[in-house]
């Protein structure tokens, strides 16, 4: 449960950091209007993609650890 708890804390921190960064950028940005909105959308999309990639990597690592722990290379594999 420690790995999952750490992952949830990391994900929460990442999302909070992205939100704070976007808010600060909006307040300090020299751009206004549509250009700023587009930039914020792009950064949020990049953060979303990074979260998805990090989640997939963590899930794969956890599956591999489990397979090693139970000494079964086919554990947790999806059946067709």
Query: What pLDDT shows up at residue 1?
Result: 58
Distance (Å, whole) CA 9 – CA 4: 9
Query: What pLDDT shows up at residue 45?
Result: 96
Distance (Å, whole) CA 59 – CA 63: 6
DSSP 4-57: HHHHHHHHHHHHHHHHHHHHHHHHH-S--THHHHHHHHHHHHHHHHHHHHHHHH
Contact indicator for 22, 43 with CB cutoff of 8 Å:
yes
- Which residues 6+ apart lie within 8 Å of 55 measured at CB? 11
Q: What is the pTM of this model?
A: 0.52
Tokens of 41: 């959308």
pLDDT in tens, 26-63: 777 676 678 878 888 999 999 999 999 999 999 999 99
User: Which pLDDT band, with edges at 50, 70 and 90, does 80 fall under?
Assistant: low
Average pLDDT, the chain: 86
| Domains in the chain: boundaries | 2-70
């Amino acid at each position: 449960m420690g790995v999952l708890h750490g992952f949830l804390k990391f994900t929460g921190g990442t999302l909070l950091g992205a939100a704070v960064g976007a808010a600060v950028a909006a307040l300090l940005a020299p751009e206004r209007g549509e250009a700023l909105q587009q930039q914020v959308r792009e950064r949020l999309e990049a953060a979303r993609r990074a979260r998805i990639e990090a989640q997939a990597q963590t899930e794969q690592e956890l599956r591999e650890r489990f397979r090693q722990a139970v000494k079964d290379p086919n554990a947790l594999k999806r059946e067709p």
